[in-house]
Every structure is written in C-alpha cells, then in structure tokens.
Amino acid sequence: MAVDLLLGLQWGDEGKGKIVDVLTSKYNIIARFQGGPNAGHTLEFDGIKHVLRTIPSGIFHKNVINLVGNGVVIDPVVFVKELEGLDQFGLDYKKNLLISRKAHIILPTHRLLDAASEAAKGKAKIGSTLKGIGPTYMDKTGRNGIRVGDLEMHNWEHKYRALANKHEKMIAFYDVNIQYDLEELEEEFFQAVRQLKELQFIDSEAYIHQAQKEGKTILAEGAQGSLLDVDFGTYPFVTSSNTTAAGACTGLGVPPNKVKDVYGIFKAYTTRVGSGPFPTELFDETGEKMAKIGNEFGAVTGRPRRCGWLDLVALKYAVQVNGVTQLMMMKGDVLSGFKTLKVCTAYKYKGAQIQHLPYNIESENVEPVYTEVKGWDADLTGMTKADQFPKEFNDYVAFLEEELQVPIKLVSVGPDRKQTIER
C-alpha cells in the first residue's frame, strides 16, 4: 500500500498530534520521519491530555505499530521520560514501538552546544527549543553522529567519548557562560541508553518496504511545520530538518512514487514560537485574544506563541511545496466571537502587490494585504456535524478552499478527539 503523509503547513503546533491520533484507527503503522524532542504533539481523549515528543501519536492504539524513523533524532533521556509517562496507560510499547537503527542520538553535549550557540547569537538567536536538535543534525550531515545502531556495538562508548570531548572544546570556543556538570548529565544519559536498548531496534527501511508489500497502511507523521523546513522555511529561523513531504521519503526510506495522500494541517489563524519573520503577526488585543482563547503556549517550552491572522500567501506556498491533496483546519472554535476576520491574500513587496512568498518576508520588506470576512458568534466546540456550523463559518471555509484549490476535508473545533468533524 502507498504511504499517506500528515504535515504541518505553518510554523508548527497546528494540531498534528491530535489528528494523527484521530486517523490512527485507519492505519497499521504510524511513523515519525524527522525532528525530535523539539516537537510537542498534544492528544486529548477520555479527559486526559498527553504531550508526545518523539514517540509517534498512534501509540495509544494498541494494535498499531509506531515507528521512529531514520530521519528522527532521539534524546534517550527525553525518550525514557516519555515512556514513563505512558506507563500508567498499560501500553505494550516493547511490542508496538520500533526504532530505526539509523536514527541519530542526541548527546548531552549536543544540548549544551545548542545553548552555547544560542547564547553566542545574542539577539539574533533562533529561539531554539534547546533540545540539541541543530547540533545533532550538524553531526549527522558532518558524518560524525552516533546512531541507534551504534548502541548495539561494543565500542560505541569510545566513539561517544571522542565526540563528547570534541563538543566540550567547541563549547569552550563559543566563549559564553554555560554552566554544566557533564558527569551528572552522562550518568543520566547512560542510564537512559540502557533503558532505550530494551526496545526493538530495526532496519526500518526494510521493515517499511516489507509492510508496503504486505498491503499494510502507513501514515507518516510530520513534526514542526513547512515554514520551519531547513530548505523552504524562513531560514535561518527554522529547524534543522526537512519538515516537508520530501522529508518523509528520506526520513523513512519511502520512495516518492509510493506516497499517496498528503494531509496538510493548518490553524484557522497563525502562530509562531521562537524568533523569525511573521508577516501577519498581531501586536494588539486581537492577537492577545487569540492567544488567550487558543491557549497558545508552547507544549515543550511553555513559551507564549505569537499569534496573527491566517496568511494565505504562506499557506499556498506550503500546499505547493508539499503537494497537499487534502486540508484539515484546526482551532476554528478559537475564532468564534470575532466580528470581522482578516485573511492575508497578498503582500505589498517592493512597491508591487505579489501573491507568492518572496525571499525576504521581514516586516520591512512585506506588508500583508488583507481580505475581510464576516465572523461568527456561535460556540463551535459542542458541534458534532458540519450542518450545525453557522453560515459565516462555512463561508470562511469555502473562501479558503477557493483560494487554496484543495478541499478542507476535516475541521477541528476543540482539543478532544471527539471534537473533530469530517466534511
């Protein structure tokens, strides 16, 4: 069977975790293909809320295999804590959670390097989650990394020591004040590695290939969002992996001609956490209202998320880069009670009006051009069928479909699994 992809189309936190969980009953395998514990994917059902970091969001479905693909970077310390968080739910993760031998390992010194790099950048900092993501991917492409498969080799600790020593020199080179006790960090790290080794490590690309041959259904779960993609995002204010559709091919070993549906997920407005340009950002009480109603605080760092209107210029770009076949709109409920909604449909750029995302989207280069649409008052959170939606909400969705030329097949009206409506 072909593989379907689920990808965030904005700057992350679109609600990927919730939707993967909702869709999991249709799949045999859920596979994460990039990113690492910089992600925070929230699931809510039966009155519980759970935030997953590296573990795929299908984990609560007992008969589904959850695979951490080769494109992911794993911090054993965070991973083991995540597993401990799952213990109370009686999940058999030794059976249904698989880890690619080719996934790279985040070392304690990668985290320290992340902090040192950010401190050295000062005001120009990326606003990284400080989970060591950038330095780990740098070691991957620099061909210095330690992979999950290495943990099965007898000499891996030598390799570890050589790399950690090098990292310590690099940290000193940054000449910033980073306090750490490496011995303590290592004790925690090696303990976590021992626990990680109790899980199943596999040759994941062979596993995926075989599963496809057997007709198994696979959903690839993206982390972050298209505008954080290292190639296509708002560089340098991005993460260090390919968050877009192509990343699922390299992050799992799935050939491009085996990808079927590409589910693109977006919020009915826009948020961003960390630094970087954000043309439709609001600095007024409208933005504050969105943040408050939408409870826009980072699932990983707790940082407040910046909020603004929906940006169709950026969204169209994400739809194109990913080849999105179906859209899913999240958090429509948050916009209830706004008299008028604005949607950015073009940018003013160098004296002209443009409809594509240019190289420079900083506020000094682009000014959003808005189309205003009528808002709605009704509370959407209790609605269970599309025919209950107010006319203005349907008009908003229809307007977006017309602009994006892709159907919005699903809308979400609250954080719970059940607050999900197919159209």
Residue 44 engages ligand GDP in binding (rule: CB under 6 A): yes
Q: Is 227 in contact with 234 (CB distance < 8 Å)?
A: yes
How far CA 147 is from CA of 138, 160, 240, in Å, comes to 13, 10, 17
Residue 8 engages ligand IMO in binding (rule: CB under 6 A): yes
Count, residues near ligand GDP per rule CB under 6 A: 23
* Alpha helical stretches, state H, 220-350: 245-252, 285-293, 312-322
How far CA 273 is from CA of 69, 128, 138, 237, 239, in Å, comes to 25, 9, 22, 10, 12
End-to-end CA distance of the chain: 25
The answer to whether 61 is a known catalytic residue is: no
> What's the closest the beta carbon of residue 295 comes to ligand GDP, in angstroms?
6
What residues numbered 296-315 form the site for Mg ion, per CB under 5 A?
Answer: 299
> What's the closest the beta carbon of residue 360 comes to ligand GDP, in angstroms?
27
Query: 22 vs 299, which CB is nearer to Mg ion?
Result: 299
Query: 57 vs 280, which CB is nearer to ligand GDP?
Result: 57
What residues numbered 229-258 form the site for ligand IMO, per CB under 6 A?
Answer: 237, 239
Q: How crowded is residue 270: how many other Cβ atoms within 10 Å of its Cβ? A: 26
Q: Is 30 in contact with 20 (CB distance < 8 Å)?
A: yes
Element (H, E) at 272: strand 270-272
Distance CA 22, CA 365 (A): 40
Q: Is 315 in contact with 9 (CB distance < 8 Å)?
A: yes
Element (H, E) at 193: helix 182-196
Of 38-46, 125-133, 308-316, 394-402: span binding ligand GDP (CB under 6 A)? 38-46
Of 39-47, 61-69, 78-86, 277-285: span binding ligand GDP (CB under 6 A)? 39-47
> What's the closest the beta carbon of residue 368 comes to ligand GDP, in angstroms?
23
Give the distance from CA 275 to its chain's centroid.
16
Residue 133 engages Mg ion in binding (rule: CB under 5 A): no
Return the residue of 65, 83, 113, 133 that touches ligand IMO, per CB under 6 A: 133
> What's the closest the beta carbon of residue 319 comes to ligand IMO, in angstroms?
18
Return the residue of 16, 102, 111, 167 that touches ligand GDP, per CB under 6 A: 16
Measuring CA to CA, which residue among 404, 299, 319 is closest to residue 10? 319
Residue 273 engages Mg ion in binding (rule: CB under 5 A): no
> What's the closest the beta carbon of residue 178 comes to ligand GDP, in angstroms?
27
What residues numbered 27-56 form the site for ligand IMO, per CB under 6 A?
Answer: 35, 38-41
The answer to whether 41 is a known catalytic residue is: yes
The site string for ligand GDP over 267-296 (x = CB under 6 A, - otherwise) reads: ---------------------------x--
Q: Which two tokens stand for residue 70?
A: 């080769």
Residue 346 engages ligand GDP in binding (rule: CB under 6 A): no
The catalytically annotated residue of 4, 21, 41, 50 is 41
Measuring CA to CA, which residue among 168, 181, 157, 159 is closest to residue 135? 168
Give the distance from CA 122 to its chain's centroid.
25
330 binds, among ligand IMO, Mg ion, ligand GDP, none (CB under 5 to 8 A by kind): ligand GDP
Where do contacts with ligand IMO occur on this chain (CB under 6 A)?
Answer: 8, 11-13, 35, 38-41, 126-129, 131, 133-134, 223-225, 228, 237, 239, 273-274, 299
Positions marked active-site: 13, 41
